[in-house]
């Protein structure tokens, strides 16, 4: 074999080698750099140690007396938190009005996902003995707070001596058309349930929403304590809010929406 032939063979081998290497490099590059990163779910977190970003509204039923609501930042069990006091039975009144208070997170727009917060509270000072202390989260708010879905806890029911009261520790409502008393009368036991609650401690609640289904989890439990398969407002979207029921002193901390 001549020197020219040897040179040609070596040259062809080098060309083949370079071609194979180039393909390998291109494939490696497409795996490492060409793939789009997975989209991350948006997460919004509020410490609730200030009033920034919140709009507090009082909700009362048509034709009833107004309710007095106070909202401020206070310290509860060593933590700075939002304090909401809803004075339902005003001086001179003979019966409660059934009013509620919500603190709307103004920048939120929630449809499906997860809402978590630490809550605490109970009957406000001077409340009637029948008051349980109602604290929870509202979501998919419509028409500036006139319509919404909500889960809440009856804070003094979880460890009551009366089993019926215990069975009413958690509640789902869809205001204004499906308040708790209508849901209980028409579907006993379907939209409320038992869960253990220490009324003096911070309680972690988590609401998971998908379409017309929502589930409530308490204190990190793996299983929900209340499941609703037919959210009354349908597949809507809207702001999230912190919710306090009648004659209640409520505290809220560490809100996360994802």
Residue 15: helix, strand or coil by DSSP?
A: helix
pLDDT of 67 reads 80
Q: CB-based burial of residue 130 (10 Å sphere; 0-12 exposed, 13-18 middle, 19+ buried)? A: exposed
Among the listed residues 99, 175, 101, 183, the one whose alpha carbon sits nearest the alpha carbon of residue 143: 175
- Determine if residue 189 is left, alpha or beta; phi over 0 gives left, psi from -120 to 50 gives alpha, anything else beta: left
With 0-12 CB in 10 A as exposed, 13-18 as middle and 19+ as buried, what is 34?
A: exposed
Question: Which pLDDT score, from 0 to 100, does residue 21 have?
Answer: 46
74's enclosing H/E stretch is strand 68-76
pLDDT at 24: 44
Q: DSSP strand E in 146-212: where?
A: 147-154, 170-175, 192-193, 203-210
End-to-end CA distance of the chain: 74
pLDDT of 94 reads 57
Write out the chain's pLDDT in tens, 258 residues. Answer: 555 454 444 444 444 444 444 444 344 443 332 344 444 568 999 999 999 999 999 987 766 666 889 999 999 999 999 999 998 765 555 566 678 999 999 999 999 999 999 999 999 998 988 899 999 999 999 999 999 999 999 999 999 999 999 999 999 999 999 999 999 999 999 999 999 999 889 999 999 999 999 999 999 999 999 999 999 999 999 999 999 999 999 999 999 999
215 CB-near residues (< 8 Å, 6+ apart):
207, 208, 224, 226, 227, 228
pLDDT at residue 40, rounded to an integer: 53
Prediction pTM value = 0.82
């Amino acid at each position: 074999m001549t020197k020219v032939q040897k040179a040609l063979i070596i040259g062809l081998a080098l060309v083949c080698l370079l071609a194979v290497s180039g393909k390998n490099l291109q494939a490696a590059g497409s795996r490492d750099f060409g793939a789009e990163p997975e989209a991350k779910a948006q997460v919004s977190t509020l410490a609730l140690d200030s009033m920034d970003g919140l709009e507090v509204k009082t909700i009362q039923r048509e034709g009833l007396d107004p309710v007095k609501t106070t909202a401020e930042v206070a310290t509860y069990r060593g933590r700075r938190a939002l304090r909401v006091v809803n004075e339902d039975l005003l001086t001179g009144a003979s019966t409660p009005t059934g009013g509620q208070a919500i603190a709307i997170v103004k920048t939120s727009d929630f449809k499906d996902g997860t809402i978590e917060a630490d809550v605490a509270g109970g009957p406000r000072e001077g409340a009637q003995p029948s008051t349980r202390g109602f604290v929870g989260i509202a979501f998919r708010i419509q028409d500036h707070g006139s319509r919404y879905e909500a889960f809440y806890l009856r804070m003094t029911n979880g460890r009551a001596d009366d089993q019926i009261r215990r069975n009413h520790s958690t509640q789902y409502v869809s205001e204004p058309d499906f308040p708790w008393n209508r849901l209980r009368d028409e579907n006993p036991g379907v939209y409320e349930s038992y869960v253990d609650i220490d009324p003096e401690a911070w309680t972690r609640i988590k609401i998971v929403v998908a379409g017309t289904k929502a589930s409530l989890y308490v204190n990190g439990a793996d299983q929900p304590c209340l499941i609703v398969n037919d959210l009354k407002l349908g597949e809507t979207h809207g702001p999230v809010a912190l919710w306090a029921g009648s004659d209640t002193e409520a505290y809220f901390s560490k809100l996360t929406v994802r």
